[in-house]
Amino acid sequence: MRRGFGLITAIIILVVVSTLMTLMISLSATSVKQTTDIFYKEQAELLARSAVEYGLLAISGHENNVSCVENINITYPDASTPTHEANLTMYYIFDKTTPVVNCDANHTLATNIETNKSNLTVMIDVRVSVRQDVTGITEPIVIHRRTLQKP
């Protein structure tokens, strides 16, 4: 009778220990996944901020009397295996006397600005997405940032 009781006790202890070990492994895997997701999200937010600065640099270095910069696509960290993709779309506000030609009507918000302080203002839409096929994340991470700047 005592031997049967010891065997049942050993089986119960093994089941309890294996259940606790399974719980610890699943919590550890969840923690690793959350840490990876936070890392990629923080990178995407920093890339969105940098993309705005890059867009302003591209506008200021561009001949606005010839054409306007409408879209910029950025791949990070490189073009062969990017983990992040940033897409910038620029929308312009200027008066009729500003010599901006060949600017698509879809990228012009207003052409009747009366104050010089608001002339040649640009609204930049940035959309940064983390590529799931390269990073292996399960939920999509997309950061959208809109800013109004004066180049």
Which residues, in sequence order, are bridge partners of residue 127? 87, 144
Can you spell out the DSSP letters for 21-44?
A: HHHHHHHHHHHHHHHHHHHHHHHH
Residues for the chain: how many in total?
151
Report the predicted TM-score, pTM, of the whole model to 2 decimal places: 0.76
Q: What is the predicted pLDDT for the residue at 82?
A: 93
pLDDT given for residue 1 in this prediction = 55
pLDDT at residue 2 in the model: 66
pLDDT of residue 71: 92
pLDDT at 101: 60
Number of Cβ within a 10 Å radius of residue 64: 18
Which stretches of the chain are assigned E, i.e. beta strand?
A: 71-76, 84-93, 108-110, 121-130, 142-149
Q: Looking at the DSSP assignment, which residues form a beta bridge with residue 71? A: 89
Domain positions in the chain: 2-149
Contact residues for 148 (Cβ-Cβ < 8 A; gap 6+): 121, 122, 123, 124
Residue 115: per-residue pLDDT: 73
Mean pLDDT by 10 residues, the chain (151 residues): 78 94 91 89 95 92 80 92 94 73 74 73 93 88 92 75
In angstroms, the CA 104 to CA 88 distance is 15
